[in-house]
């Protein structure tokens, strides 16, 4: 007859020893599925997806009811994503977004819309509030900076608003802001 402890006598050590086989099984399956690695150098950047920002923005310029700008960014800024959404709340409208990988490997994106600044900010940023301004060239940008969240800049360009956000530093924001403000709207 085998001895089994009463359940009342089980403690954290018993739990620890019973979880070790489960953790080992999970690590083996993750390794087999190539979902994890044990590289000594840490993570490496993978292949950046190709995205044709020019084609996407040209299509948006033809179909959206506000001026669309295609910023002339340095050649080492790589477009990698784009989307089109719609803000359904009061003051809303369609939103065109393009994402880039900067030369430093950070992700930056900008969204264009004819929505109000408040509607665009709530749609992209949630409940954050403006915390300051930045003057880049002749364009004033409203800054939304909050501890623990990505910084965002919003500018009113007349018939449209532009929101920039991402993990880049101040220089990345300034580069993107200057390129957007200096871009001529695409023809319809």
* Whole-number pLDDT of residue 60: 95
pTM for the predicted model, two decimal places: 0.74
Whether 156 is in a domain gets the answer yes
Distance CA 37, CA 50 (A): 25
User: What's residue 50's pLDDT?
Assistant: 85
CATH of the domain at 128: 3.30.200.100
CA proximity to 108, closest of 40, 185, 177, 158? 177
**Residues 116-147 pLDDT 10s:** 999 999 999 988 889 999 999 999 999 998 88
**Length of the chain, in residues:** 188
Q: Quick check: is 91 in a domain? A: yes
Residues near 184 by beta carbon (within 8 Å), at least 6 away in sequence = 69
Domain carrying residue 128: 53-182
Residues in the chain with pLDDT values less than 50: none
User: What is the domain count for the chain?
Assistant: 1
Give residue 43's pLDDT. 60
Asked if the structure places residue 16 within a domain, the reply is no
Question: Is 85 within the bounds of a domain?
Answer: yes
């Amino acid at each position: 007859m085998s001895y089994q402890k009463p359940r009342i006598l089980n403690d954290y050590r018993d739990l620890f020893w019973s979880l070790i086989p489960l953790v080992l099984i999970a690590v083996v399956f993750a390794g087999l599925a190539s979902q994890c690695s044990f590289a000594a150098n840490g993570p490496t950047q993978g292949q950046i997806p190709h995205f044709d920002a020019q084609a996407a923005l040209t299509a948006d310029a033809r179909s959206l009811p506000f001026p669309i700008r295609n910023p002339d960014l340095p050649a080492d800024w790589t477009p990698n994503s784009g989307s089109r959404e719609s803000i359904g709340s009061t003051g809303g409208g369609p939103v065109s977004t393009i994402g880039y990988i900067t030369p430093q490997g950070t992700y930056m994106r900008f969204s264009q819309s004819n929505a109000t600044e408040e509607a665009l900010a709530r749609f992209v940023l949630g409940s954050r509030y403006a915390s300051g301004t930045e003057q880049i060239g002749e364009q004033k940008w409203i800054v939304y900076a909050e501890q623990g969240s990505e910084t965002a800049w919003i500018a009113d360009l007349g018939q449209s608003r532009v929101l920039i956000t991402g993990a880049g530093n101040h220089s990345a924001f300034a580069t993107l802001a200057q390129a957007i403000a200096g871009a001529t709207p695409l023809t319809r």
